[in-house]
Amino acid sequence: MQRILKAAIAALWFMLLTLPVLGIKLNVAAKTVVWRFDRILALGAGIFVLALIWDWCFSRKAAGAKIITLPKCFNLAEIIESFRNSAGLRLGGLAVLAVVLIGMPLVSSFYQTNIMISALLYVMLALGLNIVVGLAGQLVLGYVAFYAIGAYTYGLLNQYFGLGFWTCLPIGGFLTVLFGLGLGFPVLRLRGDYLAIVTLGFGEIVRLTLQNWNTVTGGPRGVSDIPRPGFFGMSMDITASTTYIYYLVLAAVVVTIVVITRLKNSRVGLALQALREDEIACEAMGVDITRVKLSAFALGSCWAGFAGVIFAAKTTYINPSSFTFMESAMILSMVVLGGMGSIAGVVIAALILILAPEYLRAFSDYRMLLFGAIMVIMMLFRPQGLISGERRRYRISNLHGAEGGR
């Protein structure tokens, strides 16, 4: 009874709050007022049902019971574990995925290829931020600044010096590493909210500099007529060029995944994960905290620089409005939603967050509402992310038994 009463109060509050917006239609020309009580009643009924479901879910969660018991074929944890333990399943899944990704631009439309390019670029960005946030545990909110530096590196070097894409690609990565180190030095002693505020300020400084430095960056007008990457001097139309950029980004994503996977299992990667778990214990064990933090900022910013150069080549036009705080928030959401430190989870989350709004366009004005509802439900049922980061396990052998048998 108490649960029903709470749901009724919540529905009543929503009906009262939305009455001026949804329940009244003013006709200024005819000076009439039309009351739409049917909408308010429908909204109240929906809120009542959702409030009941919400209260039931949290009561089961507080009692330690599972909210939903999925069949084994839909159990995400068991599917992931089976792929980890079976080499045949891994190779088969990777082979199918490779065939789908390689053949996609050949069978899909120009629009679909463009969407996939954007999604793969965000995969690169999310994996780069995963080094800093997921592995090292350093909360960075201005990551889009490195993305902007990479894009403007290509745009300005091409505009003023005529340098091509393949020349600017390593330069963009190198410059973002320098900026990452420049940001890393002042924040070595900061952590948590203070680090987030400083990095947020860095992102805004970069954006405002690009917007107000009219003589160099073009200000709000940005940089236009940026050439697309060439292929041994061949002339390509926009469709062929887009397909070429797709395969270029796909190759870049594969390289990113391989490098970050090797990095995660290397000595540097283990030092980053130790820093994330306990900075004081990490330093007490002899790990150079300064070098580890600077490595995290340098490695994370490098991939954003590469992605920025490719983004400028894809769009052929850049301006400061493409690099706002919302981009940083979206990239950070991919890392959190996918699972801190998880490479496969971050890739899946980046694809979902970029592709879902595009494929929900059929729902018109309600697509972002559905998108937000999916995010809320996801964080309720999987707060650790789609795929939780895999932790190393050490097994101590029976040394006494081994010695006795010698």
pLDDT at 235 over 80: no
More confident residue, 188 or 328: 328
Of 61-75, 96-110, 240-254, least confident by mean pLDDT is 61-75
What confidence category does residue 396 fall into, taking pLDDT thresholds of 50, 70 and 90? Answer: low
Arithmetic mean of pLDDT, 139-163: 91
* Mean per-residue pLDDT over the chain, rounded: 82
pLDDT at 402 over 70: no
Of 18-27, 246-255, 292-301, 378-387, least confident by mean pLDDT is 378-387
The share of the chain scoring above pLDDT 90, in percent, equals 19
For residue 195, give the nearest of 255, 254, 142, 243 by alpha carbon: 142
**Which pLDDT does position 81 carry in this prediction?**
61
If DSSP states are collapsed to H, E and C, what string results for the chain? CHHHHHHHHHHHHHHHHHHHHHCEEEECCCCEEEECHHHHHHHHHHHHHHHHHHHHHHHHHHCCCCCCCCCHHHCHHHHHHHHHHCHHHHHHHHHHHHHHHHHHHHHCCHHHHHHHHHHHHHHHHHHHHHHHHHHCCCCCCCCHHHHHHHHHHHHHHHHHHCCCHHHHHHHHHHHHHHHHHHHHCCCCCCCCHHHHHHHHHHHHHHHHHHHHCHHHHCHHHCECCCCCCCECCECCCHHHHHHHHHHHHHHHHHHHHHHHHHHHCCHHHHHHHHHHHCHHHHHHCCCCHHHHHHHHHHHHHHHHHHHHHHHHHHHCCECHHHCCHHHHHHHHHHHHHHCCCCHHHHHHHHHHHHHHHHHCHHHHHHHHHHHHHHHHHHHHHCCCCCCCCCCCCCCCCCHHHHHHCC
Tokens of 398: 């029976």
More confident residue, 89 or 51: 51
Of 121-125, 219-223, 372-376, least confident by mean pLDDT is 372-376
Is the CA virtual torsion 368, 370, 373, 377 positive or negative?
negative
For residue 133, give the nearest of 312, 260, 253, 306 by alpha carbon: 260
Backbone angles phi, psi at 331, to 5 degrees: -65, -40
Q: What is the pLDDT of residues 161-192, one digit of tens each?
A: 888 888 999 999 999 999 998 888 888 777 77
Arithmetic mean of pLDDT, 309-316: 91
* CATH code linked to domain 108-381: 1.10.3470
Within 8 A by CB and 6+ apart from 170, the residues are none
* Extents of the domains making up the chain: 1-63, 108-381
**Which pLDDT does position 270 carry in this prediction?**
84
Arithmetic mean of pLDDT, 71-99: 68
**Which pLDDT does position 84 carry in this prediction?**
63
Of 5-14, 79-88, 293-302, 348-357, least confident by mean pLDDT is 79-88
- Cα–Cα distance for residue pair 256/249, rounded to 1 Å: 10
**Which pLDDT does position 176 carry in this prediction?**
93
Of 269-273, 293-297, 381-385, least confident by mean pLDDT is 381-385
**Which pLDDT does position 264 carry in this prediction?**
84
**Which pLDDT does position 362 carry in this prediction?**
67
The answer to whether residues 104 and 113 touch, using CB atoms and an 8 Å cutoff, is yes
